[in-house]
Structure 1
Amino acid sequence: MKNKKKWIAVAILAVILILVSMFWYYSYVTQDQVAERNAAIIKAKQSGGLVSTTRTWKSVWSQVYWVVQGKNAQNENIMVWVPFQKVEGQPNVPAADNSGVHTELLKNGVDEEKMTAIIQQQLPDAEIVSLQPSVFNGEYVWQLFYNDGSHHNYTFYRFSDGGSTGVKYTLPNY
């Protein structure tokens, strides 16, 4: 009986050790991503008029942007696009000047819920894989990644009015 208790204690200790190791590994792997997100929130508060944060997205197309959704001092919903640049050996950092930071009132654009409704109307058979704010060809957009049943595709809709940019990238099947 004493031997059985010893093995149960060892098993419990092993499970705890494995869980702690998994948590440590996850924290290590995501530390750059977390640092980028936190830097974007700070920059959005300093330069974009953000007071509180509700959601963040990382957008990587021709340049890295973090988009932060939240509220401004007037308690209005806003989106702030924060450009990032690569620094060798470090996580991406916000661009040095504030000229690239762009803030839009959500009421002056199309929110995610409205954009999803527009997409479902225009592409009724599409399975939305992801929808996130981004920058495409210098324009603030919603970037849609979807499956049309035969291929995965990227397409872009203007943030300002939800209209299509007319650009679609179809990924090859393999």
Structure 2
Amino acid sequence: MKKIVWIISSVVALVLLIGIISFTWIYQIAMGQREQGHEAAIERAKEQANIVQVEQVETFVGKEKQFIVEGKNKQNETIYVWVPASKKEKVIAKKAKEGITSNQAVQAVQKENTVSKLKEVKLAREGDVLLWEVTYLNENNQYSFSYVDFSTGHVEKNLTP
């Protein structure tokens, strides 16, 4: 009887170990793909937008994959640079003060929608339209996305999958 318990315990431990190792490996691959392209985006942002200090880089995948580089110029002004993954598309750079803030984007969404829990606010782009993507749970606890124009603060569209 003790031998059977030992065998079952060993098998369960082995399955758990394989599961943990597999999860870690898949997670590493996924995170590597997410950050793939960040270095090239930083270089393009430095060349085309005169960024001297990079604060952060985010990946946005909409109709096209974009990298949003946030940094500072020589005058210590915050600059946002939308760098498309495709080198054929143009890089767009804006000073932060040229658009609305993330808080203003959230306020614009709250005027039109019931936001029960805010999840994330990040910069996005569709074509030449620069946006804030506001992710939240609505009154029915459904994930929802609203896209707010970076320049005007107008809510462009709302999505609840």
Normalising by structure 1, report the TM-score.
0.68
What does 1:110-129 correspond to in 2, within 5 Å?
110-120=100-110, 122-123=112-113, 125-129=115-119
Inter-partner Cα distance in structure 2 for 1:137 and 1:152: 24
Query: Does 2:145 align with 1:154?
Result: yes
Q: How many residues are matched?
A: 141
- Residues 144 and 154 of structure 1 are in contact (CA less than 8 Å); yes or no, is this contact kept in structure 2? yes
Q: Which residue number in structure 1 is paired with residue 37 of structure 2? A: 36
Question: How far is 1:33 from its partner?
Answer: 2.9
Distance change in 2, residues 1:53/1:113 (3 Å): farther
Q: Deviations over 1:103-141 (max 9, x none)?
A: 001011112233334444554643122211111353100
Secondary structure of 1:40's counterpart equals helix
Distance 2:36 2:126 in 1: 24
Post-superposition offset of 1:149: 2.6
Judged with a 3 Å threshold, the aligned counterparts in structure 2 of structure 1 residues 102 and 113 are, in CA distance, closer, same or farther, namely same
Name the structure 2 match of 1:134. Answer: 124
Deviation of 1:77 after TM superposition, in Å, equals: 0.7
Q: In structure 1, what is the equivalent of residue 94 of structure 2? A: 104
C-alpha distance in structure 2 between counterparts of 1:82 and 1:42, whole Å: 10
CA contact (8 A) 1:120 1:126 kept: no
Is the 1:67–1:79 Cα contact (8 Å) retained in structure 2? yes
Identity %: 22
TM-score, length basis structure 2: 0.73
Q: Specify every segment of 5 or more residues in structure 1 that has no aligned partner in the other structure, as ranges.
A: 1-20, 86-94
Considering only aligned residues, what root-mean-square deviation do their CA atoms show, in Å? 2.7
Between the aligned partners of 1:27 and 1:170, the Cα distance in structure 2 is: 30
